Structure 1
Amino acid sequence: MLEFGANDAGSGEGPGTYVKDGTEATFMADVVEASREQPVIVDFWAPWCGPCKTLGPALEAAVEKARGKVRMVKIDVDQNPRLVQMLAQQGLPMQSIPTVVGFVGGQIADMFQGAVPPGQIDAFIDALVRTGGSGGLEEALEAAEEMLDGGAAADAAQTFAAIAAEDPASARAHAGLIRAHLAMGEADRAQALLDALPGDVANAPEVEAARAQLALAGQAAAAGPVAELLARVEADPDDRQARFDLATALEASGDRAGAVDQLLELFRRDREWNDGAAKAQLLTIFEAAGPKDPVALAGRRRLGSMILI
């Protein structure tokens, strides 16, 4: 594993204190886990990419200027195609480079594509630093999450709402407020809050996860009886609709692992059925579950392996 300060083959300049090269093998440690301690910027680039030759050195200079408030990892997309493919399958737009992604707390916090002026780079870094060091608001967010996990949805909603009022750009606060109303059975209110969000917040990963949970909640209302659907699938394993409906019913009943198993089996049997409905539903479940959910993590790996076959 390369250490921070190792030579950066992409910049054409000398080694930087806060910049390093990354690979598929080091991505989890260098980016996801490291971002739990401080923000990490990932520059997806390639040697043949003209804009990358302009953006890369500018990014490195800005990171060095921040003097340890952020770190930077450079990923050569030509040398790490499997990593790029897996990230794209999980919803990260990787169709063009350079793509620059900011990670905070193990999750994507912000991103941009293409070469941008130095002022925009500085603003991008400043926003990541603010997100990664929110002080008392961060503690309040953690407390609200604990309330929600503990079943005190109404108290959590009040706390999330107060945080969102103080920091309107906090996607985590808005997402938490949506999830709290959903937990209280107020799907219409949750949808109204979601619809009212500005675009920059509405597209944040935390809000996307809340949106996925809202979508699954809507499906749950129309889910059929698990036993009846299971009997249909056992009677005819090739009944695609019955298997999809069974997965929906299992997710609605709280059996996420069972739902993922059924959808993966449906994908294995017919990945193109109903315009790829099995894969789309799997991605919705993974998004709703969050990046740390063990069932979602295992499901993503299994789906990725099946796609690459």
Structure 2
Amino acid sequence: MQPRNMSISGAVDLAAVKAAGEARQKAEHARAQAAEGGGAPAPAGLVIDVDEAGFENEVLQRSAEVPVVIDFWAEWCGPCKQLGPLLERVVEEYAGRLLLAKIDVDQNQMLFQQFGVQGIPAVFAVVAGQALPLFQGAAPEQQVRETLDQLVQVAEQRFGITGLQGAPEGEQTPAPEEPQVPEDPALAAAHDALDAGDLAGAVQAYRNVLADDPASTEAKLGLAQAELLGRVQGLDAQQVRKEAAGNPADVAAQLRAADLDLVGGHVEDAFGRLVETVQRTAGEDREAARLRLLELFEVIGADDPRVVTARSALARVLF
């Protein structure tokens, strides 16, 4: 089952902005509780086996509190047996800042297909309901640690998620009911319009929020998503891709195809297409491609490693 708040491989999700805000509020409340109690030991059970039936509760819902690393593996896979113990050991060292969910692909083909896994072992992460591919194959320990360090940083900076707090299993006491943190009414109205598919209304609502609070990350991300979805609305995907393939010099065709790439979850394809368009054009055409690429960076988020890579590629072709 692919729940509503999940965005596979970067695909745009109408509820992503709202989920991020809610996750940030929960994380801030958890940090406040931990500070009042003087902190607490990391919980046990940081490595769990997950199947399709438990995916929503054990991965999606928990990803609002802690980044969940997913290890797709199989009993017959030699490299999986090398990577699996390494992941388990490293995740345990994070002491509650990460969870590791192990998914046997032979027993969970639907999840395997939904994530678009091409081979195993394959490692993904889910943060605030959003899926992010990390790496494939039995990566060396240094690469694993660097990738997970970056994941922890992104989760905290973009979503305010810093991990689990609480006593080990068997010693847990019922948590007090969390007080409801009121959401900014203007931002809530923008989220509601986006969820309802009122793209024009969402664009205007997010602009209103930014007029009062130009630094609002949620409003910037929401506006970028609403504008993107408005641009692709009504497009014939097959025709757009045919025009882009047949007319590499047609900048407008490349912009439309890049938008469709991103909405379809093909993030690297969208970025690569626009970087190539910037490289082969000049003047107003080059500027149009560059600005569109920057807009798509906003949709994915500045800290996403795919954005970091594409920014470097853009800099190389510009300078």
Which bin holds the TM-score, normalised by the shorter protein?
A: 0.3 to 0.5
TM-score, reference length from structure 1: 0.45
TM-score, reference length from structure 2: 0.44
